[in-house]
Amino acid sequence: DAKTTQPNSMESNEEEPVHLPCNHSTISGTDYIHWYRQLPSQGPEYVIHGLTSNVNNRMASLAIAEDRKSSTLILHRATLRDAAVYYCILVSNSGYALNFGKGTSLLVTP
C-alpha cells in the first residue's frame, strides 16, 4: 500500500485557518485521498476525499497538488471542537481497508 507522511502535531488558534499537509509521493493513479479525524475516545469521522480536483464540503476543503504527490486539508476557521487526530489515507479503487498511520494531532487554543 502507498504510504502517507504527516507531521506528528500542529497547533492553531481558534477561528484561524488551519492547513494540514500530507505527502504521498508513491500514490498510484487510481488511489483516492481520504481524510478522517478522530476525537478523543470516539471512532474516526470521515472528513473529505478526492482524486485529482480540489474538493469542498461543509467541514473542510481538500487541495490536491497537480502531481498528486501531496495534499492539504484546510479547516477554514478552527474551533475547539476541531481538536483531533487527522488521518490522511490513500484508498485504492479495488481495496477497501483503511491503513491508518499515526496522523497529525491538532491542538486548537482559545
Partner 1 sequence: GAVVSQHPSWVICKSGTSVKIECRSLDFQATTMFWYRQFPKQSLMLMATSNEGSKATYEQGVEKDKFLINHASLTLSTLTVTSAHPEDSSFYICSALRGGGNQPQHFGDGTRLSIL
**CB 14 to partner 1: min, Å:** 25
**Contacts of residue 17, Cβ cutoff 8 Å, sequence gap at least 6:** 74, 75, 76, 77, 78
Instruction: Using the minimum distance from each CB to partner 1, give the nearer residue, 17 or 101.
Output: 101
Q: Which C-beta is closer to partner 1: that of 98 or that of 107?
A: 98
Which residues contact partner 1 (rule: CB under 8 A)? Answer: 32, 34, 36, 38, 41-46, 49, 87, 91-103
Minimum CB distance to partner 1 smaller for 30 or for 54: 30
Q: How far is the CB of 77 from partner 1 (least distance, A)?
A: 22
Q: What is the 3-state secondary structure (H, E, C) of 31-91?
A: CEEEEEEECCCCCCEEEEEECCCCEECCCCEEEECCCCCEEEEEECCCCHHHCEEEEEEEE
Residue 10 Cβ, how far from partner 1 at the closest point, in Å?
Answer: 17
